[in-house]
Amino acid sequence: MKQYNIFGGIDDVEAQTTRADTFNDYEGFKEKFKPKKTTDDCYTPPAVYDAVLGFCKDMGWVDDSTEVVRPFFPGGDFERHHYPEGCAVVDNPPFSIYAKVVRWFVAHGVRFFLFGPQLTLKVKGADVCYLPVSSSIVYDNGAVVNTGFVTNMLPGVRIWTAPGLVRALKATAPPPKLNAKNTYPLTALSPAIIGKIAVREVDFLVASDQCHEVQNLDSLRRAGKSLFGGGWLLSERAAAERAAAERAAGTCVQLSAEEQAIVKRLSE
């Protein structure tokens, strides 16, 4: 069926209907042309940032005389930014260049405490301390991102659960549900595993000389799998401390005294 349109031409009724639908859903039409948000657009809510900065003050890393620098903003260039002597960067970098940012600050001797992606928090070869606190932060664009932190202001420590930071963040970012089962030996650790300890506010720390960085485990590699985000091999002492931390966090099933006696008898 044909009919005249308001522009003096002849249109199909179907085409006319399609055009009308387009104008009736103008907001939906505009939505198609909006730029898509990524983790690089995750602007930090003020309450979350204040909690993180407060933790850095509690640790003595910054005080009222410290110039706190935030070089990550739209159109900014962190490599050309001015970093005054004695300053500290406390900021949320674009996660797409997270590793590059960490390496640059380490190489240039800039003190920092940065947000980072929990599961890929480890930066290969970087002499830093990781705080895989597994905080589900709701950023200003509505994205919920599992977030950890990294700093070079805690020398000699490679990994820390930072219970004080966890407590500070819980008011603004409740922890995620933890359903994953730990099937790795105690001497193998990843950011995902330690996150289960951190969210329960258990204080667990691994010294730099008690762990060895790995990208994968041989058994996983042979099976065509990977240790997502990489991880660390722990000394026996650190592994024992991890076991104690997991018991305190309630992340592993405990044996009763009677069951432990059976195990001891079997081992004799």
Q: What is the per-residue pLDDT across 199-221, written as a single tens digit (0 to 9) for each?
A: 999 999 999 999 999 999 988 88
| pLDDT above 60: residue 7 | no
For the CA atoms of 154, 158, 159, 162, the dihedral, rounded to the nearest 10 degrees, stands at 0
159-199 confidence digits (pLDDT tens): 999 999 999 998 785 555 544 444 678 899 999 889 989 99
Rounded to two decimals, what is the model's pTM? 0.72
Q: Is residue 79 predicted with pLDDT exceeding 90?
A: yes
Handedness of CA 48, 97, 177, 203 (dihedral sign): negative
pLDDT digits (tens, 9 = 90+) for 95-123: 999 999 999 999 999 999 999 999 999 99
Residues in the chain: 268
Pick from 93, 86, 95: nearest CA to 67: 86
pLDDT of 123 reads 96
Other Cβ atoms less than 10 A from the Cβ of 235: the count is 15
Mean pLDDT calculated for residue range 223-237: 89
Residue 219 class from Cβ within 10 Å (0-12 exposed, 13-18 middle, 19+ buried)?
Answer: exposed
> Tell me, what's the pLDDT at 223?
79
pLDDT score for 3 = 40
The angle subtended at Cα 79 by Cα 75 and Cα 85, nearest 5°, is 120
pLDDT computed for residue 234 by the predictor: 94
CA 243/CA 189 separation, integer angstroms:
11
The per-residue pLDDT for 257 is: 80
Range 142-149 average pLDDT = 89
> What per-residue confidence (pLDDT) applies to 197?
93
- Please tell me the distance from the alpha carbon of residue 106 to that of residue 74, in angstroms, as a whole number: 23
Q: What is the pLDDT of residue 25?
A: 55
Quick: pLDDT tens for 11-38: 444 444 444 444 455 555 455 545 444 4
Residue with the bigger pLDDT between 68 and 221: it is 68
Give the pLDDT confidence score for residue 55 in this predicted structure.
97
Closest to 214 (Cα-Cα) out of 125, 81, 141? 125
Q: Is the pLDDT of residue 41 over 50?
A: yes
**Comparison of pLDDT for 137 and 70, the residue scoring more:** 70
* Band of pLDDT at residue 9, cut at 50, 70 and 90: very low
pLDDT of residue 238: 94
Q: Which residues contact 115 (CB under 8 A, 6 or more apart)?
A: 44, 52, 91, 92, 93, 137, 147, 148, 149
